[in-house]
Amino acid sequence: MFDDLFNVTSQQMSKFSDTVMDQFGQSIISDVFDPLLQDISGLQQMGELFQARAAEIDQLTGELKSTGSMGDE
């Protein structure tokens, strides 16, 4: 989900860093791009955890439904 955003941001940071010639430009990389990439990476990890938890919930829900329907017979 966030992979494209991470890749685009990384590409833009690379393009920008190729033109950086001074300390001010370097500060933009360290104060803007680096934290942004860290935040996106954190969102990627949360998205993966969410997907894993959703799969667990779906599995448990399926098990509960099958157990409940067996009791109705």
Instruction: Determine the Cα–Cα distance for residues 49 and 72; give it in Å rounded to an integer.
Output: 35
Tell me the angle at which helices 34-72 and 3-19 cross, rounded to the nearest 10 degrees.
170
Residue 1 confidence (pLDDT): 76
Q: Are 44 and 2 in contact (CB under 8 A)?
A: yes
The pTM of the full predicted model, rounded to 2 decimals, is: 0.76
Instruction: Give, for all 73 residues of the chain, the pLDDT tens digit.
Output: 799 999 999 999 999 999 999 999 999 999 999 999 999 999 999 999 999 999 999 999 999 988 876 555 4
